[in-house]
Amino acid sequence: MVLKILLMGLNGAGKTTLIRHVLEGKEFEELVSLPPTEGIKTDEYRYRRLIEISVFDCGGQKQFLEGYFSERMERAIFSNTRVFIWVVDVADKEKLGESRFWFKQAYNSLRKFSPKKVKIYVLAHKYDLKPRISKDELKKFFSEGNAIQGVTYYTSSVKTKTARKILCRILNNLIEKTETERMKNLQRIIDKVNKKLNAKLTMLINKDDGLEITSSMSPELEAKLITKEASDFLQYLSIKTLIYPLNIAEQLIQEFRKNGFLKSKHLNTTVFKFDEEYLLLKDIHKYVSIFIITPINRVSIDKYEQEINKITPDLLTVLKLQ
Ligand SMILES: Nc1nc2c(ncn2[C@@H]2O[C@H](COP(=O)(O)OP(=O)(O)OP(=O)(O)O)[C@@H](O)[C@H]2O)c(=O)[nH]1
Ligand SMILES: [Mg+2]
């Protein structure tokens, strides 16, 4: 089943940047010269390789917005929506009234055509900019007393990477509703192999976006990360920046960058040796890599390969990649 995500907001609010950053693993700098979206652009993604989502990125210029609410289009656009995200540029105070006006239209259309299941979010986006309206001010302004209810507000920024965290949180919510069994199965396989190999971390990665599918951590590493927040954090890092919280040195990050580490979609097995750790990265499928951090000398590299080969068929079955 493909889940429909509807993304709207005024033109220039940052919708296309946000989606391509999070779901295609592009950095802010790579996205600065995107053209305005003409009408609705639909793309399908397999988020964490567990759910299929169809993202409707709706261009926000006035003539397009007007069209979305025309009798001809309204039903088709707003029906069957599972997640609705309204993006607001918090630095553009002059257009807040206009943004609220259209948001309200969309809210009414959703209530009419997607009555039950839809989750509605407003993103206080570009939160890195100043001066800006705060999330609380935005919430107050948008909810108009109690007229508009059941909306969740988040701050977000592609520049500071909070956008990734927020969009992942929204989408994880969908996974929890629909794919709990598969998540558990994957977790079981990964936990087992992590323990068997005495690894610090074993992580499955979706190569499209560099995001974690699932991971398992040794108690030793978990203790180091201390707070739940720190370990949750791993999930929202694209693998390119993964090594930061693990305290592996800056020079290695440089080396990864130079070698094109995860940018390469054609890796087979890559082993980096660093001080006390090996970092192993192996493609187990065109779309999925496995990443292991392990103390040197506990187990031979051959053994890692063997173990990975052993669990690969099971992983791919759960991921429906076989
Ligand atoms: N400072 C900052 N700028 C951002 C952020 N996200 C997007 N932008 C910038 O906002 C501008 C518009 O971004 P787009 O993603 O094209 O906006 P859009 O909402 O898709 O616009 P339409 O397609 O016309 O509806 C670009 O210059 C982006 O670089 C952010 O988090 N912080
Ligand atoms: Mg756009």
Q: Which residues contact 257 (CB under 8 A, 6 or more apart)?
A: 240
Distance 259 CA to ligand 1 centre (A): 30
pLDDT of residue 143 exceeding 70 = yes
Which of 196, 189, 185 minimizes the C-alpha distance to 294? 196
Mean pLDDT confidence for 170-185:
91
Supply the pLDDT for residue 270.
56
- CA 162 – CA 94 distance, rounded (Å): 24
What is the pTM for the complete model shown?
Answer: 0.85
In this predicted structure, the answer to whether residue 183 has a pLDDT above a threshold of 70 is yes
Query: Does residue 131 have a cis bond before it (omega within 30 degrees)?
Result: yes
For a ligand 1 pocket test, name from 17, 126, 128, 132 the mutation site with the most ligand atoms within 8 angstroms of its C-beta. Answer: 17
Residue 256 has pLDDT above 70, yes or no: no
Q: Is 155 in the pocket of ligand 1 (CB under 6 A)?
A: no
The rounded Å distance from CA 188 to ligand 2 centre is 40
Assess contact for 218 and 194: CB atoms under 8 A.
yes
Q: Tens digit of pLDDT for each residue in 264-286?
A: 333 345 555 555 677 777 888 98
Q: Report the amino acid identity of residue 281.
A: L
Q: Which residue has the higher pLDDT, 208 or 80?
A: 80
Which residues, in sequence order, are CB contacts of 109 under 8 Å at separation 6+?
69, 74, 77, 78
pLDDT reported for residue 27: 84
pLDDT band at 245 (very low <50, low <70, confident <90, very high): very low
Instruction: Tell me which of 34-38, 230-234, 306-310 is least confident.
Output: 230-234
The answer, yes or no, to whether any atom of ligand 1 lies below 6 A from the CB of 60, is: yes
pLDDT in tens, 205-244: 888 777 889 989 888 777 766 555 555 545 544 444 333 3
At how many degrees (to 10) do helices 180-196 and 301-318 cross? 170
Q: Sketch out the chain's domains with CATH numbers.
A: 2-177 (3.40.50.300), 180-318 (3.30.450.30)
